[in-house]
Structure 1
Amino acid sequence: MQIQVRLFATYREIVGEGQLAWTLRDGTTVRQLLEAVLAEYPRLLGHEKSMLLAVNHEVVRPDVVLREGDEVALLPPVSGGRR
């Protein structure tokens, strides 16, 4: 199945692209996708501990099973704002 991986902020800078096309087997989880991305882009290693994972604009747990056409976003931690 085909999915899109979107990268933001620091992750985009590390990888050098904001979007990646990824081919996966049916039944692949978000965790398995993340492991594949980390293997392909080892400079991301260490960031996964604070990374937010979203599928189709909804933050999800790593055990969610992906489906054909899903968009997975790897989001850095967000901080700041008004006090």
Structure 2
Amino acid sequence: MRVRVKFYSSFREVTGTPEMYLDMSMDSTVNDLVAKLLNMFPKLRLQSDEIVVSLNKRSVPMDSILKEGDEVSFLPPVTGG
């Protein structure tokens, strides 16, 4: 199955692209997608406590199952002072 992956802020800088499409196995999870991205981009920092993952514009847990055509966005945490 194919999913659309969108990157924001520092993630975009590391990957060199705002988005890409990746082929994933059926029943893959967000965690599986993260593992694939870390293999592709070793400098990418995608620890679950440091990112916000959005699946089809909704915040989801890392064990969420992906489906054909899903859009997964990776955003750095919001900080302020």
TM range (shorter): over 0.9
Mapped pair 1:44 → 2:26:
no
Partner of 1:71: 71
Partner of 1:12: 12
Distance 1:4 1:80 in 2: 29
Identity of aligned residues (%): 32
The unaligned stretches of length 5 or more in structure 1 are none
Partner of 2:2: 2
Runs of 4+ in 1 over 6 A off after TM superposition: none
Partner of 2:24: 24
Q: CA deviation at 1:79?
A: 1.6
Distance 2:60 2:16 in 1: 25
The unaligned stretches of length 5 or more in structure 2 are none
TM-score using structure 1 length: 0.90
Distance 1:60 1:38 in 2: 19
TM-score using structure 2 length: 0.92
Report which of the two structures shows the higher radius of gyration computed on alpha carbons: 1
CA RMSD, 1 decimal: 1.2
> What is the number of residues matched between the two proteins?
80
Distance 2:77 2:39 in 1: 21
